[in-house]
Amino acid sequence: MKRIVVISDLQIPYHDRRALKNVVRFIGDFQPDLLIQIGDLNDYETPSRWNLGTKLEYAQRVKSDSEVTKREFFAPVREVYDGLFKVFEGNHDLRPRTYLSDKAPALAEFSDDVHFSKLLDFDGFGVELAEPFMKLGPGTVGIHGHEIKGMSQIAGTTAFNHATKANANVIMGHTHRLGIRRGTTGNATTGFTTRWGFEVGHLMDPSKAQYLGAGAVANWQKGFGLLYVGNQDVSPVEVDVHRDGSFVVEGERYGALRRGASGRFSAA
Ligand SMILES: [Fe+2]
Ligand SMILES: [Fe+2]
């Protein structure tokens, strides 16, 4: 059996530092056969189309934000895990090269130079770029999620709707929701087929992303996913990451819940 850990939407530098620290410790203990970051690794807010003509467009943060990813994610992972590590390109990750080709067409031939795999030195960290719809096991593919149309507010449903169309199990990020939805087709004579869609949540700290606005609501859940891949089947497992950044896998808690006398979570 192969064990795959799938994490998503860190949106660095707007990541949840405590959750990420716990996830890195878990990766070191678990030693998966494959680690996947399924997109929106970096937020790259500054070259966003939303910031055109604002102060942020001139902030020049692509380099420094990339350094945060190398320092706070790639380097700590590589300290505890030297196995296969693949990263999908999300819609946020591609912002620098989209900006260059759309806003500076005379320099568009250089857009590969600001591909996030270069900005984040994938080669130096032994990280591989994953192809969208990469096969992860029998009847199972991975995508970031921006590749498909239509988005549901109900966790798991966006992935499930695509799974039904594609006749494959689909695991993805992008919605920032954590959930698995299943459906079965067929009949007793010819046999049944069950397909699932799995959205693996996010690992960001929404309070850091000012673009959500003050008091913004976001129907998002922190978490990540595990896939147990057999010869004939894939078993998907959701992992809820709690408000203090802790979570439980196979009965073991990573990160301690801290509560004051009132029962409220206390700050770190
Ligand atoms: Fe995202
Ligand atoms: Fe996304």
Does residue 74 form part of some domain?
Answer: yes
Q: Would strands 191-200 and 178-187 be described as parallel, antiparallel, or unpaired?
A: antiparallel
Whether the CA torsion 112, 117, 123, 129 is positive or negative: it is: negative
pLDDT of the residue at 50: 83
CA of 10 to the centre of ligand 1 (A): 8
Q: Which residues of the chain have pLDDT under 70?
A: 258, 265-268
CB atoms within 10 A of CB 13: 22
- Which ligand approaches the C-alpha of residue 158 most closely? 2
Residue 262 lies in a domain: no
Residues with CB under 5 A from ligand 1 (ion): 9, 40
Q: Is 248 contained in some domain?
A: yes
pTM for this one? Answer: 0.94
What spacing in Å lies between the alpha carbon of 205 and ligand 2's midpoint? 15
Cα 169 to the center of its chain, rounded Å: 17
pLDDT of residue 265: 65
Pairwise CA distance, residues 155 & 61, whole Å: 32
The ligand that comes nearest to the alpha carbon of residue 148 is 2
Q: Are 91 and 174 in contact (CB under 8 A)?
A: yes
Does residue 61 belong to any structural domain of this protein? yes
- Predicted pLDDT at 245: 95
pLDDT at position 40 = 98
pLDDT tens digits along 162-185: 999 999 999 999 999 999 999 999
Q: 178-187 — which CB contacts under 8 Å span 24+ positions?
A: 178/221, 178/222, 178/223, 178/238, 178/240, 179/154, 179/155, 179/221, 179/238, 180/156, 180/236, 180/238, 181/154, 181/155, 181/156, 181/157
Kindly list the distances between the CA atom of residue 227 and the CA atoms of 124, 140, 246, in Å, as whole numbers in the listed order.
27, 10, 20
Ligand nearest to C-alpha 201: 1
pLDDT, position 266: 65
Kindly state whether residue 73 falls inside one of the protein's structural domains: yes
Question: What per-residue string of b and e applies to 59-69 under the rule 16 or more CB within 10 Å gives b?
Answer: eeebeebbeeb
87 falls within a domain:
yes
Rounded distance from Cα 203 to ligand 1 centre (Å): 9
* Domains in the chain, number: 1
**Residue 265 counted as domain residue:** no
Domain harbouring 24, CATH code: 3.60.21.10
Residue 249 Cα to ligand 1 midpoint, Å, equals: 24
pLDDT of residue 212: 79
pLDDT of residue 52: 86
Which residue segment(s) compose the domain that 111 sits in? 2-254
Distance 5 CA to ligand 2 centre (A): 18
CA of 206 to the centre of ligand 1 (A): 11
Q: What is the pLDDT of residue 107?
A: 92
Distance 229 CA to ligand 1 centre (A): 26
Q: Write out the H or E segment, with its range, that includes residue 81.
A: none
